[in-house]
Amino acid sequence: MSDAVAIMTSGGDAAGMNPAALCAAQHAERSGIKPYFIYEGLRGLIDGDIHEVTKERTRGLLYTGGTLLRSARSKRFFEEKYRHQAYENLRQRGINKLIVIGGDGSFRALNEFYNDFQVPFAGIPATIDNDIPGTEYCLGVDTCQNIIRTSIDSIRDTAVSFNRAFVIETMGRHCGYLAMTSALTSGAEICLVPEIDYDLDSIAERLRLEIEGGRKNLIAIVAEGVRMGDYLCNWINDSLKMDARLTVLGHIQRGGSPTVYDRMMAFKFAVAAVESLKAGYTNQIMTFKEGQIGMEPIEQVAGKKPVMPDLILDLCRPLAH
């Protein structure tokens, strides 16, 4: 084989990373490209934790959550001498292409690596935050949403049983996609996210009328980026006179066996990534728009602000007022 590709995962783990790595390796091999796995993310690229793909190394990838290739951030990668060390690790193995499964920071790191050594890469978007510009979907989102939905449904059972309010904090850093979609699909009464200005006085008036009409419990969803979990609990206790408890879902949202949707999207992204490298494209990020797989150059993705769908924003605004 004259070509070889190394596949790595980087950044926060997300369900779908493993199936994407599996499919990318299999499709590369069928295409006459020798596949390698890089373990431990950028750190493994520097330290030479790079291995030819074998049957044993693909075992369990299809149905396991997280990333079996593991992930690690590396400050060393931003020093030229360590990037050169990483390049030598690839050159010695005859690897002339890279596939990175991760988020915006991972793509920017590989773009800097390309600028130094002209090793082309294809990026597969994988982050539960769903905050990569240019694509409507990132691997891991569906699995995460289902974990959140199950958690909220269970918490609502307790809310009903004890006439309580529960404030549930989702992940998302500065992006409210998970909170918004979870609030809508779980029937939450309040949703606070960075993308929508909220009015607690208006929320209080709306819910007081509902409480007078017989409401005895409620669910509030907050994105971690608004930093309102504890405050909202106290506010509900004081303003609505309803016993409120906070549940921070935390890292449970990252794990779990990938859903069918995430597995299928992983396959589609992986095939597209290999095909883009075969066709001679460099520094392309795979995208999903209006039901179609495509790609965008890294310059159109890195550092840009994600755009939330208008429909989701419009549906959530009443929950913030």
Q: What is this structure's pTM?
A: 0.95
Q: Say which residues have a Cβ less than 8 Å from residue 34's Cβ, sequence separation at least 6.
A: 1, 3, 4, 5, 28, 52, 94
Tell me: pLDDT of 2 over 80.
Answer: no
Tell me: pLDDT of 32 over 80.
Answer: yes
User: What band does 155 get if pLDDT is binned at 50, 70 and 90?
Assistant: very high
- For residue 270, what pLDDT is reported? 98
- Candidates 64, 65, 56, 53; CA nearest to 28 is 53
- For residue 173, what pLDDT is reported? 80
Q: How many CB atoms lie within 10 A of CB 118?
A: 10
C-alpha pair distances (Å), 58 with each of 31, 37, 74, 148 = 18, 10, 25, 29
Domains and CATH numbers, the chain: 3-140+258-304 (3.40.50.450), 141-254 (3.40.50.460)
Degrees (nearest 5) of the Cα angle 293, 294, 298?
135
- Whether 243 is a known active-site residue: answer no
Phi, psi of 174 (to 5 degrees): -100, 15
For the chain, what is the mean pLDDT?
Answer: 95
The active-site residue, picked from 47, 49, 104, 129, is: 129
Tell me: pLDDT of 274 over 80.
Answer: yes
The stretch 170-184 carries a mean pLDDT of 94
Instruction: Compute the radius of gyration of the chain from its Cα atoms.
Output: 22
- Give 77-107 pLDDT, tens digit per residue: 989 999 999 999 999 999 999 999 999 889 9
The stretch 211-217 carries a mean pLDDT of 96
Helix residue spans in 96-140 (DSSP H): 104-117
The stretch 292-298 carries a mean pLDDT of 95
User: What band does 305 get if pLDDT is binned at 50, 70 and 90?
Assistant: confident
- For residue 72, what pLDDT is reported? 84
- For residue 18, what pLDDT is reported? 98
- For residue 253, what pLDDT is reported? 95
The stretch 260-269 carries a mean pLDDT of 98
Tell me: pLDDT of 156 over 70.
Answer: yes
CB contact at 8 A, 97 and 3: yes
Tell me: pLDDT of 127 over 60.
Answer: yes
Tell me: pLDDT of 1 over 70.
Answer: no
Q: Which of 123-127, 169-173, 269-273 bottoms out in mean pLDDT, i.e. has the lowest? A: 169-173
User: What band does 211 get if pLDDT is binned at 50, 70 and 90?
Assistant: very high
Whether the CA torsion 12, 15, 19, 22 is positive or negative: it is positive
- What is the per-residue burial (b if ≥16 Cβ within 10 Å, else e) of 61-99? beebbbbbbbbbebeebeeeebbebbbebbeebebbbbb
- For residue 306, what pLDDT is reported? 86
- For residue 307, what pLDDT is reported? 87
- For residue 302, what pLDDT is reported? 77
Report which secondary-structure segment, H or E, holds 4.
strand 3-9
The stretch 54-67 carries a mean pLDDT of 96
Tell me: pLDDT of 120 over 80.
Answer: yes
Tell me which residue has tokens 């609505």: 240
